[in-house]
Each structure stands twice: as C-alpha cells, then as structure tokens.
Amino acid sequence: MTEPLTGPFWAARNWSADAGAGSIHDDQTAATLGFRGGTVAGDVHMNQFPPLLVKVFGQQWFERGNLSLSFKNATVDLERVKVFAMPLVPGEHQVKVWMARDDGLLVCTGTAALGDHSQSELRSKDLRPCDPAELKILHQLQPGMSLGHYDVLAAATKQFERYDQQLISDPISWYRDGSPWGEVVAAPCTIIEFLWAYPMAGLLPYVGEAVSLFGAMEIGFSAGPFLLNQHYHLQSHVVCVGQSPQTEYVWYETTATNAAGAVVATLLMQSRAMKASSPAYQQ
C-alpha cells in the first residue's frame, strides 16, 4: 500500500477570536450553536498545504496549481493538525489530500492538482440549486447573480504581520522575503482574504443576522503566482444556492486578473449560514 506524504503537526491559531459576538470564531457564539469553541477558519488550515504540495508538484504549483477542500469537522485554537497528500502517480496530474487532528479526527478532505482543475474535489460536485421557495435566509440570491467588480491592490502588510507573529501554519520564506518570481507570494489565507472579503461585503445584506462559516473552498492558479504589491481586478458571481438540515449555503466564484488581463487566481467558496442563528427559523 502506498504511504501518503505528510507535513508536520501545527497548532493552528484562531486569529479571528476577537471578531466579537455574532462570529463563529467567538467562543460564546460558537458554543451556542453546538461547537466546542470559536472555530479556526478554513483558510488558516489551507496555509498548511503548500509546502507539501511543492514537494509533490514543484514550485509550479504556485503558477498552475489547485487546492480544493471540503471541511468535515471544525477545530478550535491551538489544536494540532497535520496535512497529508498521496504521491503523484506518473502520468496523472491530481492527488488526494486531507488534514487530520492529532487524535485522528478528519478535518478536511480534497484534491490538489497541477494544470487541469476541472476534476477537483469541489468542481466534481453536483451544484444544482434547490427550490428557492425552500430558503428563508438566502432566498434573494440566484445563480449567476453578480457580487461585484473590484480593483484592488494586494498589499503585503497583513501577511508580513502574520508571518512575523508566527501565525501562518508551516510558512514558506517566499511569503516574506521575496520569491523565485521576484515579489513575495501570497499565502492561501491572503489570497482568500482578497477574493472572499470583497464579494462577502456584497453578500452580507442577504445573510442578515445569521452566523456564517466556510463549508468548502478551492484556490486555483492559471497565470500565477498571486504576487503581493500588485494590482488585480476581481469579479465575483453566485454559482448555486441550497440548503442542508442545519444550514443554507451559497457557492460563489471569484476571479483575479492582472493588468495584462490574464486570470491569475480563482476562488470557489461555499459559505454556510446556520439556521439556528437566524430569526427566520425562530418564528
């Protein structure tokens, strides 16, 4: 049996713990919804994969790679987790990846690839929408709906602060001291911060008072890497809206293009709104 490649254990940090009441990262809010405490965000866990993926695919992963994750169990601050990846089979371009806590609890599963992203963990899912009449929180959202266009400067300041404070799990020096491509490379959390935060501002009016959390996320590079201190044009739209017994969820996709018009990076995200936190389900 082929053994997986592994990264080191890291005690991931809930660096959003001070987000305040109403956030899934707040201990009291999370406990009210049945979690053990404020949850560590999925993008924090995603930071742990790139060093392992560079071993699998080489530095080209930052240029044309993909990481696609479905989250299974939430973690709390300082819980130790490790990432795994199956070795790349000759002639293949994609491998299975996952993360587990030190007691074996599965945190997330997914795929990583180089080149073709079409068969990733998330892009292989059936994202047909549910009947809009079933929705109480996200009923105003529709597939194809624009979440806006944004021109942004991907500043390096926050990533440098997190790097210096040792908050980035398994960091690479390219996040702080330059890279083979010249400028510093964005860590997954930084990419998601730009490609998620701007569209999320457009989503907030539709979510209302419901507490949200990440259910799945995928970052992919086409003309990467996503370098900092560069200008990008972001464009985002709703892909699908649906529900589960405990949540309503929206899938949306954001692309980042550079000054030459090339797509540098793409984010596919599932954001879940907890039914138990919404007044719409308490009437």
Examine residue 91 and state whether it is found in any structural domain, yes or no.
yes
Closest C-alpha to 278, from 32, 85, 2: 32
Summarised one tens digit per residue, pLDDT across range 128-169 is 878 888 899 999 999 999 999 999 999 999 999 999 999 999
Give the DSSP H/E element, type plus range, for residue 54.
helix 50-57
Q: Number of C-alpha atoms within 13 angstroms, CB side, residue 264?
A: 23
DSSP letter assigned to residue 39: B
Summarised one tens digit per residue, pLDDT across range 59-83 is 999 999 999 999 998 887 778 999 9
Summarised one tens digit per residue, pLDDT across range 199-221 is 888 888 887 777 778 889 999 99
CATH number of the domain to which 135 belongs? 3.10.129.10
pTM over 0.85: yes
Examine residue 97 and state whether it is found in any structural domain, yes or no.
yes
Examine residue 125 and state whether it is found in any structural domain, yes or no.
no
* Rounded Cα distance, 194 and 208, in Å: 22
Examine residue 9 and state whether it is found in any structural domain, yes or no.
yes
Examine residue 123 and state whether it is found in any structural domain, yes or no.
no
- pLDDT tier, 18 (very low <50, low <70, confident <90, very high otherwise): low
Examine residue 28 and state whether it is found in any structural domain, yes or no.
yes
Domain that holds residue 10: 5-116+131-281
Would the pLDDT of 21 be above 70? no
Average pLDDT, the chain: 89
Q: What's the structural domain count of the chain?
A: 1
Examine residue 59 and state whether it is found in any structural domain, yes or no.
yes
pLDDT of residue 30: 46
Cα separations in angstroms, 77 against 16, 25, 81, 207 = 10, 9, 11, 26
Q: What is the mean pLDDT of residues 177-194?
A: 95
* Rounded Cα distance, 205 and 56, in Å: 41
